Amino acid sequence: MRPVDPDPYATAPLRTGLEHLHAAEPDHEQAVYWFRVAADAGNAEALALLGWCQLEGLGLPRDPEQARIRLEHASAAGSVTAKFHLGRALVAGWGGAADAPRGVVLYITAASQGHADATFNLAACLDAGWGCQPDRLAAKALFLRARAMGSPLRAPGLRIRQRELDAVRDLARRFEVGSEIGHLVEERQHEIALMQELVHHPSRRKRRLSAGQKQALARLAGVAVVIGGVAGAVAGLFGWRGRRAVSHDAGPTSIA
């Protein structure tokens, strides 16, 4: 974990706090003390860690509302750690109203900057449709990416079907370029919206789609798409619910 602020008066207490936090027998109260010292000196990463401790109740009483305020300030100051934990609070509704779409945006930003656990949580949101359209292929690729980055989090029962393998591998390769994560997720979300329109409004499937739209649907699904059979062929790949087909692949039950 790298300090955001290079000021030695802020980073030295931060390092001391991290030593207490990661000791064989962690001393959370001492960690909080030194995080507070560093945060008061203007270190955004220390403020983020102080907010995280307060969010979890480590070394000080749990106070999600105050933690969220601290994480907001640290996130605005550029802390990737703060963006990750603020994303968690927003998706879960800790310390205030839930705002899953904004939480997803924060996960994307942190994942783009190499945060492994944010990458996992972004995958979980895409898998379940928290704050975004469900996109199981992208979710599976990001779960693999998070594991490769060293995240200890695991998606219980994650399976990649044979027919999905090439598409998931291709997406995983594209997600390796952090700066492309936001663009790729946004692009696929737009394409999913188009596919949902076709699934929910059968009469519109008969209209003539542009070559680009057909290619987008084929790329999105990872299979050859026949427009007349869009619903049955691809809806299950995204975990769509309600009147939509639901994939039988197991997925994560929590982002905590």
What's residue 194's pLDDT?
84
Query: Six-digit token pair at 30?
Result: 């001492």
pLDDT-above-70 percentage for the chain: 74
29-78 pLDDT, tens digit per residue, is: 999 999 999 999 999 999 999 999 999 999 999 999 999 999 999 999 99
Question: Can you tell me the distance from the alpha carbon of 74 to that of 82, in angstroms, rounded to the nearest whole number?
Answer: 6
Question: Can you tell me the distance from the alpha carbon of 169 to that of 183, in angstroms, rounded to the nearest whole number?
Answer: 18
Question: Can you tell me the distance from the alpha carbon of 3 to that of 168, in angstroms, rounded to the nearest whole number?
Answer: 34
Question: Can you tell me the distance from the alpha carbon of 48 to that of 39, in angstroms, rounded to the nearest whole number?
Answer: 8
Amino acid at 54: Q
Q: Write down the domain spans for the chain.
A: 1-98, 108-250
With a cut of 60, say whether residue 148 has pLDDT above it.
yes
Rg (CA), the chain: 21
Say which CATH class 1-98 falls into.
Answer: mainly alpha
